Structure 1
Amino acid sequence: MSLHEYRRKRRFDRTREPEPGAPPRGRRPIFVVQLHHASRRHYDFRLQVGDALKSWAVPKGPSYDPAVKRMAVEVEDHPLDYASFEGEIPHGEYGGGHVARFDSGVWASDGDPEAQLAKGHLRFELFGTKLKGAWHLVRSGKPARQPQWLLFKERDEHAGKLEADDLLADVAPPPDADARRAGRGKPGKKKLSEPPPARRRRRDWAAAARELPGARKASLGGGAFELQLARLADGPPQGEQWLHEVKWDGYRIAAAVAGGKARLWSRNALEWTGKLPEIAAAVESLGLRSAALDGELIAGRGAREDFNLLQATLSGEKQGALALVLFDLLHIDGWDISAAPLAQRKALLEALLENAGPHLRYSSHVVGAGEQAFALAGEQGFEGIVSKRGDRAHHPGRSDEWRKSKRLGSDEFAVVGYTPPKGARSGFGSLLLARPDAHGEWVYAGRVGTGFSEQLLERIAARLPKGAAAESVRVPAHDTDLRAARWFAPKFVIEAFYRGIGGNGLLRQASLKTLREDKKPADLLDSDRAPARRAAASKARRAKAGDSQAASPTPSSRSVMTSKSKRSARAQPAALEDLRLTSPTRVVYPDIGATKHDVAAYYFAMADWLLPEIAGRPLSIVRCTQGAARPCFFQKHHTAGLEEVDSVALEEESGQRADYLVVRDLRGLMNLVQFNALEFHPWGATAARPDRADRIVFDLDPGPGVAWSEVVAAARQLRSLLKSLELASFVRTSGGKGLHVVVPVAPACGWDQVKAFAHGFAESLATMEPLKYIATASKKFRKDKIFVDYLRNGRGATSVASFSLRAREGAPVAMPLRWEELGRIKSGHAFDIDSAQARVKRLRRHPWAGIDEVRQNLDRVMERLQARDED
């Protein structure tokens, strides 16, 4: 609906509600929630989308409980000025009654909100005083006069049991007449003005800080502090003393915490706290009393192509998720640690950020291997790397201890003029650029006329002075196109790509990268370029070194980049942020609001438990590219894009050979997660010996009418029968309705023998207790019976791995158990994405400890069974 509907329903000579006006520009999208005592009491929930507030009436208000889904009736759009409206709407007018502001702030979504709303599912984050964290709006399929949606909270660190009615301590109450007519809301406990802060397990960071070399006690205010800056280099330096990080493409931000409150500062000491409420809140959630942190504000991955998204997000033109990538820690809880070596400061920073949310990331690094890091950064779309001396203290200002190496030349320039537009372009033709020389004089550097979006053309044109003035820089006399140029003193800063510098000292093939609204021309006087003599000397040293750089060490396990070297020599990531993950906020399990990032975080945390189950085995995966609630599909063959996943060529029933998936390590696992894999189903054989089975799996699948206690009893009966054959067995929940009983086989044996044994064992059970078991897959015979599925024991057949998620409601997990604890388990899906991680943290040893050492020969079992038959 448009604002036309808003106007139609109101008489502005009788109501104080605002008439639609010109929307403000250049700010992030806002939200507002108002408590409205109209004919019925309800909350009005409004999100700025474009130039209007999309609006929903929520009768009971938002709930912090993810299990509570509140009806939200879509109503007409409201103007942005409505966000500040409070007071009485006259009775007899549309919506007559009292309106009070409940909460307001900015909001964000990873993606186009209009497109998400059109599809019927919007995931978003709120950064208010009362409403925080991630939420969902999902359109209901029920037919109604007005579109109905469901509003519910995502399971994150803010989730709890609070209701909107619990947070009314500072909300203006309605007149008694309105309260009697519309209702008074939830009675009971004392009202709060905002939710209590999320509980965070405190650690004595001061104790860790004072152990660092040079640490000293110091107080810290919340003001800006001086940052260490990098100098531009021709290439990365060599030596194990250098740490190499990705050059993030964003805005430098200093975060200062004093008294538990965070303030954010740009490199120019301009306060950005109000612009970045999610970052300030994330820093405060670390639970520090005082701190000084240094990082880069990014959108998306922070790669070169994401910088425009960052700018568009800050200006309100687009929606994007913002994060602060932190790479230095200078003060923590009363201790100044700036004198400690950078490598030790970063180690403490990494520990501090271990459980931080998505808005804070750790900038990982590699040690020594600068050339490889530089090459890999380029392959992944980053502009370059920053190399830092890991053995040095923090030194404010620019020096050679921090060096940046860029793949494509880019630099910052002051705009000192423009040429008139030609053709269809309006505003200007090219921007005329200058840079300061060693004496601080401005020197003409060339022009840039490409790379402008329509929005940037408008914003830059509005900054250009009108009329002509004298040249403010030295200009080449031979450039006839500059005769019509208009000049002015250095006005603002842009960043441009270029393909080198010509013999005349001018940029070659320059194109605009971005408008640097965070910098002023005076900032360019502190150039990041080394003096000419130093740059030449550096280049000469590298030429002398020749190909020796190729022998640099392999990147360490902290690398943020993936390598194409042999997997055996490849470093493994030390943090989830070390791995590329696209669309991290896409909801995968809509019933609980779990995102792709949540899935990746689960598999990263559980990798040490899951990998022994799947590594080195042919593997099938269940991929859910649209989430677990939509159709998923099995994949067993290797495909393009799975660079980190190995393969093995296996012959299929058709006689053709095909490349089957094989995971070798953590990178392979996470590569599949990036490709939306939710379930992992390994063969009961290794890729090295695919025709020799070393695991037998009996899947106890209960039909309709079978109680869980009967499934547990069946598993115990199988264990007893297998034990009588001198076969040890192990049990796990399937993550679905049933249980798996797993029998290790060593030495491994042929599939024909394994399948014959499994089939015969299942048929024996069904013959022995026909009212309890069935050994055929036909569903029409399975009511009140347990299907003993033996079909997972043939060549090419698979069963779900222990610790694998399932693509089902609630994100259940297949969990191995000790036989002794089976009686305490309530269902086959008793463990989910959260409780599974909590369980393994409590475990002192694997529930199946020793399974790989079990030696049981199926040949001898078959011989004993044959002897029994002959007797």
Structure 2
Amino acid sequence: MSLHEYKRKRNFGRTREPAPEGSARAGRAIFVVQLHHASRRHFDFRLQVGDTLRSWAVPKGPSYDPKVKRLAVEVEDHPVSYADFEGDIAEGYGKGHVDLFDRGVWATRGDAEAQLHKGHLVFELFGERLKGTWHLVRSGRKERQPAWFLIKADDAYAGDVEADDLLDATMRESTRRAAKTPAKRSAAARATARDKVVPKVRKVSTAVLTKAAVALDGSHKAKASGDFFAPQLARLREVPPQGDAWLHEVKWDGYRIVATLLKGKARLWSRNGLPWNERLPEIVQALEALGLDSARLDGELIALDGEGRSNFNALQRTLSGEAQAPLVYMLFDLPFIQGHDLSRVPLIERKALLQRLLAHAPAHLGFSSHTVGHGDDVFAMAMEQKLEGIIAKRVDGGYHGGRGDDWQKIKRLESDEFAVVGYTPAKGSRLAFGSLLLARPNGKGSWTYVGRVGTGFTDAMLRDLGDTLARGGTKKPGVRIENIDPMLRGALWVQPTVVAEVYFRGIGNKTLLRQPSLKALRVDKSIGDLGDSDRTPAKTRTAGKTAKRTGAKAPAKKIDSDDTIIITHPDRLVFPADKISKQDVVDYYKQVMPWLLPGIHDRPTSTIRCPGGIDSPCFFQKHMVAGLEHTGQAKLKEETGAQAVYLYPRDETGVMELLQFGAVEFHPWGSHVDSPDVADRVVFDLDPGDDVAWSRVVAAARMTRGFLADLGLVSFVRTTGGKGLHVVVPLNPGAAWKEVKAFARGFAEALAAAHPLEFVATATKRFRQGRIYVDYLRNGRGATAVASYSLRSRVGAPVAVPLRWEELGKVRSGAAFDIRSTPKRLARLKKDPWEGIDSVKQSLDSVTRKLAGQ
């Protein structure tokens, strides 16, 4: 869709509205409704279709009454970044104030463009204010602009509620200032209306469910928890087990999701414990509509195509924003309900209670039905309907996390998971790359090449992989790979971090996959999962033959007691000149973790990754990439106005995962993910010219400290692991980045003006000879500074180390401490050199008042 009209109608030198460039958004397709106080007050209703927001102006706003047809005038498409726009349009087209009324994700069964072309789009909204099914119907009237009607479907959310009833105080004040009045209802009436925007669904009595749970043999009372629980996993078998001791279900082609309910609030998790609430608001709403106080549920997230069938491709495209297919959570187990642990209750009885619970559940929750016995017939039915396969489960089995023989899967198509170890360059019109190169761990500390896959990719996958995985490969593998095809000329190799699931037609000559086709990039799995094989020691099917499968993991060092992170290739040299291995780096960070973590915890953090060691290409990474599962992810706005998913360490496990991915250095923001626009650190980087003696750097730091003290600011000092020092000023309360950057620049320039022979405040190299550059540019939104106790990717493995001001004169250089001496220093310390930094109460407001007083 074109944004030509959007650009034609606006002067981006005057309007605050976002320019269309760089407006792509990762994640599910969104909707947004904005209240626009233009010359005529109206609601702008926008649906993301592809890379743009299809837009309609709705003068009276959406109504929950199915009998009301609200006029919706089609206007020009808007960029996706417009969803974040609020504030004043000062002049020109659309002049007036804009408030965000609602936003969320949306879904439709079938192709959205085709429905719009026909003139009738049926869709669901999952927002805070707008929910349920709606219709957009094109009017037959001839108008200057295409006219549509926005109509609420007669569903569980329908009722006597108008858009004006749902305005919050800010929106009502904007309406008042614009001299327009909302619908004439009292505040109490509006509050009552908001309370009505909940689904009217029949619920099974919680008392009845609790009584039924208590009566089950094996049930016992237990403390409810909203935390992640490990799902039960299945082993792959060639044929279904026989007899009535087994029940058989459809193998749903989707993503495994476990859910918890605690005090009525739902939390969703991937199979490896990643939170999924943000991605699946419709599932969260549906689970909470069950009315349970506590529960644990297990199931598979699937997408429905236009004919109501499960479609894995549609699921992936919906989660990436390329499509808007309805999602359903197919539930097949209930190991906990209403304060009662059912994990020892026979499966057949757990499922009976689950089916009872879901008897009147919202449409986004489904029950995975089963057949007891008749495994061959069920599998034959799955073959006939071209399903992926079936799952066989012991009728009397309990529920336990991890893989075992109580659950077995039998597939129609042969598929397996492999690590991506490289790619071939793109040819012709192909985007990003030609094919991905695959390998599996062979149990000998190396990898076995199994072939390449070049089909099954969507355009979005090609673009995403082109920006992440298929960039910066090396001509030689960074890991030992056996069985490489000698015909692979021009291939580029990458570290094995991404898991690909591939369909294939058996194993051919030289143990290469026959006719492989990509099924999915498994963002819910890591290469550590390749060692947790779902295959049994028995022979598995190939094309007319049988072949032994090796699923053993490569030798690796375990990091912690629960084996959360496996460090592969621990002997690889990260600092070759110093004979420092990957395991040495991991061991160092484990030793300093209590000191490192407070400085990076919950802060957006860029890492410098050196997968092949510091002598090979290293790169700066700040955004999430496929394969990271224990590292925090925060969707933050960039300076362009677009949003991106930034990584941040939440705990020791997250740090270890980043080390497994080749991270050497950590560079946090001066703010936290929950308040990214508020800085709580000011960092002055004192960077000496090549001919500046270290004693002058020490004197410069002390001078900087003195000037800051004159302004009433306490400061702290650390070595950088390089040539200079950092002087760090904590702020509590914090300040907006614009204010912090202005202060840092003014201070640096004042320092340079007062002592021009010592300091310079410009980055230009020719001005820095013989002087110390006061780098204030680390104090902007998105800028970073090296973390305390972070290694530096330089010969000698130096470390950035906090100091007491009293010991600064004893330090020989900015790289005085390294990977070996730093842990010894910490072992000798009686207290933290930066003790109290988080409790210092000081702000830039006090500086402003002090300067004003002077």
TM-score normalised by length of structure 2? 0.59
Cα displacement (A) at 1:117: 1.1
The answer to whether residue 183 in structure 2 is matched with residue 185 in structure 1 is: yes
Cα displacement (A) at 1:214: 1.3
Distance verdict in 2 for CA 1:26–1:87, change over 3 Å: closer
CA contact (8 A) 1:434 1:473 kept: no
Residue type matched to 1:274 in 2?
E
- Give the match for residue 101 of structure 2: 102
Cα displacement (A) at 1:371: 0.8
Matches within 5 A, 1:743-758: none
Residue type matched to 1:528 in 2?
D
Match of 1:446, SS state, is strand
CA contact (8 A) 1:418 1:487 kept: yes
- Give the match for residue 477 of structure 2: 470
Q: What CA deviation, in whole Å up to 9, does each residue of 1:446-493 have, x standing for no partner?
A: 33233334443333343134222336344227x321364433331211
Residue type matched to 2:477 in 1?
A
- Give the match for residue 306 of structure 1: 311
- Give the match for residue 501 of structure 2: 495
Cα displacement (A) at 1:444: 2.7
Cα displacement (A) at 1:365: 0.8
- Give the match for residue 117 of structure 1: 116
CA contact (8 A) 1:230 1:398 kept: yes
Q: What CA deviation, in whole Å up to 9, does each residue of 1:231-270 have, x standing for no partner?
A: 0111111110111111111100111111111111001111
CA distance in 2 between partners of 1:391 and 1:281 (Å) = 32
- Give the match for residue 59 of structure 1: 59
Residue type matched to 1:198 in 2?
P
Residue type matched to 1:506 in 2?
L
Task: Work out the percentage of aligned pairs sharing the same amino acid.
Answer: 57
Provide structure 2 residue ranges, at least 5 long, that are not aligned to the other structure: 547-854
Matches within 5 A, 1:439-478: 442-462=447-467, 463-464=469-470, 465-470=472-477, 472-476=479-483
- Give the match for residue 198 of structure 2: 197
CA distance in 1 between partners of 2:104 and 2:539 (Å) = 52
CA distance in 1 between partners of 2:196 and 2:443 (Å) = 55
The answer to whether residue 481 in structure 2 is matched with residue 482 in structure 1 is: no
Residue type matched to 2:500 in 1?
I
Q: 1:359 aligns with which of 348, 360, 364?
A: 364
Matches within 5 A, 1:442-591: 442-462=447-467, 463-464=469-470, 465-470=472-477, 472-476=479-483, 479-482=485-488, 484-502=490-508, 504-532=510-538
CA distance in 2 between partners of 1:376 and 1:360 (Å) = 24
- Pair member with larger Rg: 1
Match of 1:347, SS state, is helix
Distance verdict in 2 for CA 1:7–1:534, change over 3 Å: closer
- Give the match for residue 255 of structure 1: 259
Matches within 5 A, 1:163-182: 163-175=162-174, 178-180=177-179, 182=180
CA contact (8 A) 2:415 2:504 kept: yes
Distance verdict in 2 for CA 1:238–1:474, change over 3 Å: same
CA distance in 1 between partners of 2:71 and 2:457 (Å) = 44
Cα displacement (A) at 1:196: 4.4
CA distance in 1 between partners of 2:242 and 2:72 (Å) = 60
- Give the match for residue 15 of structure 1: 15
CA distance in 2 between partners of 1:293 and 1:20 (Å) = 42
- Give the match for residue 242 of structure 1: 246
CA contact (8 A) 2:272 2:524 kept: yes
Distance verdict in 2 for CA 1:229–1:176, change over 3 Å: closer
CA distance in 1 between partners of 2:413 and 2:389 (Å) = 8
Q: What CA deviation, in whole Å up to 9, does each residue of 1:7-64 have, x standing for no partner?
A: 3333444433333231223221111112222223222211122222222222221111
CA distance in 2 between partners of 1:524 and 1:487 (Å) = 19
Match of 2:398, SS state, is coil
- Give the match for residue 797 of structure 1: none
CA contact (8 A) 2:56 2:75 kept: yes
Cα displacement (A) at 1:441: 5.2
CA distance in 2 between partners of 1:44 and 1:441 (Å) = 57
The answer to whether residue 371 in structure 2 is matched with residue 380 in structure 1 is: no
Distance verdict in 2 for CA 1:220–1:228, change over 3 Å: same
CA distance in 1 between partners of 2:355 and 2:345 (Å) = 15
- Give the match for residue 656 of structure 1: none
RMSD of equivalent CA atoms: 2.7
Q: 1:268 aligns with which of 264, 268, 272?
A: 272
- Give the match for residue 209 of structure 1: 213
Distance verdict in 2 for CA 1:130–1:455, change over 3 Å: closer
- Give the match for residue 159 of structure 2: 160
Cα displacement (A) at 1:303: 10
Match of 2:31, SS state, is strand
- Give the match for residue 40 of structure 2: 40
CA contact (8 A) 1:249 1:303 kept: no
The answer to whether residue 398 in structure 2 is matched with residue 397 in structure 1 is: no
Q: What CA deviation, in whole Å up to 9, does each residue of 1:138-163 have, x standing for no partner?
A: 01111211211111111111111111
Q: What CA deviation, in whole Å up to 9, does each residue of 1:493-537 have, x standing for no partner?
A: 11111222246433223222222222111111111011248999x
TM-score normalised by length of structure 1? 0.58
CA distance in 2 between partners of 1:527 and 1:281 (Å) = 35
CA distance in 1 between partners of 2:175 and 2:518 (Å) = 61
Match of 2:523, SS state, is coil
Residue type matched to 1:372 in 2?
D
CA contact (8 A) 1:304 1:381 kept: no
CA contact (8 A) 2:420 2:437 kept: yes
CA distance in 2 between partners of 1:176 and 1:424 (Å) = 52
Distance verdict in 2 for CA 1:112–1:43, change over 3 Å: same
CA distance in 2 between partners of 1:285 and 1:336 (Å) = 22
CA distance in 2 between partners of 1:201 and 1:425 (Å) = 52
Cα displacement (A) at 1:433: 1.7
Distance verdict in 2 for CA 1:530–1:39, change over 3 Å: same
Q: What CA deviation, in whole Å up to 9, does each residue of 1:287-324 have, x standing for no partner?
A: 11111111111112699982111101100112211111
CA distance in 1 between partners of 2:301 and 2:169 (Å) = 33
Residue type matched to 2:278 in 1?
G
CA contact (8 A) 1:304 1:382 kept: no
CA contact (8 A) 1:243 1:368 kept: yes
Cα displacement (A) at 1:367: 0.9
Match of 1:88, SS state, is strand
Q: What CA deviation, in whole Å up to 9, does each residue of 1:550-599 have, x standing for no partner?
A: xxxxxxxxxxxxxxxxxxxxxxxxxxxxxxxxxxxxxxxxxxxxxxxxxx
CA distance in 2 between partners of 1:486 and 1:177 (Å) = 62
Matches within 5 A, 1:76-87: 76-87=76-87
CA distance in 2 between partners of 1:303 and 1:384 (Å) = 18
CA distance in 2 between partners of 1:471 and 1:96 (Å) = 57
- Give the match for residue 625 of structure 2: none
Distance verdict in 2 for CA 1:288–1:170, change over 3 Å: farther
- Give the match for residue 341 of structure 2: 336
CA distance in 2 between partners of 1:534 and 1:500 (Å) = 10
Matches within 5 A, 1:781-860: none
Distance verdict in 2 for CA 1:336–1:89, change over 3 Å: same
**Greater Cα offset, 78-87 or 187-196:** 187-196
- Give the match for residue 758 of structure 1: none
Provide structure 1 residue ranges, at least 5 long, that are not aligned to the other structure: 541-871
Residue type matched to 1:498 in 2?
F
Distance verdict in 2 for CA 1:535–1:70, change over 3 Å: closer
CA contact (8 A) 2:237 2:540 kept: no
